[in-house]
């Protein structure tokens, strides 16, 4: 079952009134292209494809609802409870990363697109948002560093960051969420930054939670 929270189709007037239409129009085609590239298919009794898609504004109030949809979308897949928890954790950290680092427009809103896909090797979480050029560069460098660490080194880095107390109330602990994501994906966190207009980049993080 595909849970699609495409805000153009959402009937809630209140939610539509929150949209920043300019940036929403930029994100929606990217989500549609991604959905077209990942058509559902089946192998035996197992069905693969996109389970959840969302594009729109994001804030601390909406995060639990998105995660609830993600939880429901994987409830009927043949996965262990441990694996489901890993998938949901990566979804949460992906969205939190956007909240901490995403571009805030003139209306004070941040937009993202999020897809959760079931694949033969596990689950993939694709999370995209607009970022200022320098922020995108800094994030790419941070992810490249994290991707170069072994699992043991990730644990050490996590403890050092956690104990270092480098807390920024606006941006969260310096890279702690990214380290946690890398620990649970058991593979690299893919980073893509496409130059956009107005000094921005369209940034997408892809995390594969392998079985």
What is the average pLDDT across 138-143?
A: 92
Instruction: State which residues form the domain around 152.
Output: 3-210
pLDDT at 2: 55
**Lowest model confidence (mean pLDDT) among 15-19, 85-89, 190-194:** 15-19
Query: Using an 8 Å Cβ cutoff, are 178 and 97 in contact?
Result: yes
Count of structural domains within the chain = 1
Burial of 202 (0-12, 13-18, 19+ CB in 10 A): buried
Is 74 or 161 the better-scoring residue by pLDDT?
74
59 in Cβ contact with 110 (< 8 Å): yes
User: Model pTM?
Assistant: 0.77
Contact 174, 166 (CB under 8 A): yes
Q: What is the CATH number of the domain that holds 20?
A: 3.30.565.10
Which segment of 60-69, 95-104, 174-183 scores lowest on mean pLDDT? Answer: 174-183
Task: Give the pLDDT score at 118.
Answer: 92
Q: How far from chain centre, in Å, is Cα 141?
A: 18
């Amino acid at each position: 079952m595909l849970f699609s929270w495409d805000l153009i189709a959402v009937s809630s007037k209140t939610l539509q009134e929150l949209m920043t239409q300019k940036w929403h129009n930029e994100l929606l085609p990217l989500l549609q292209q991604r959905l077209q590239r990942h058509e559902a298919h089946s192998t035996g009794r197992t069905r693969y494809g996109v389970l959840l898609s969302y594009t729109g504004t994001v804030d601390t109030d909406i995060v639990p609802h998105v995660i609830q949809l993600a939880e429901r979308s994987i409830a009927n897949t043949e996965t262990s409870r441990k694996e489901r928890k890993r998938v949901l954790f990566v979804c949460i950290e992906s969205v939190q990363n956007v909240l901490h680092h995403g571009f805030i427009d003139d209306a004070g809103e941040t937009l993202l697109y999020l897809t959760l896909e079931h694949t033969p090797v596990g689950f993939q979480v694709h999370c995209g948002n607009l970022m200022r050029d320098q922020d995108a560069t800094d994030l790419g460098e941070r992810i490249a560093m994290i991707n170069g660490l072994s699992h043991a080194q990730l644990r050490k880095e996590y403890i050092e960051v956690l104990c270092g107390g480098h807390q920024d109330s606006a941006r969260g602990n310096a890279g702690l969420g990214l380290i946690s994501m890398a620990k649970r994906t058991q593979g690299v966190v893919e980073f893509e930054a496409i130059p956009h207009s107005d000094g921005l980049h369209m940034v997408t993080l892809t995390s594969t939670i392998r079985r």
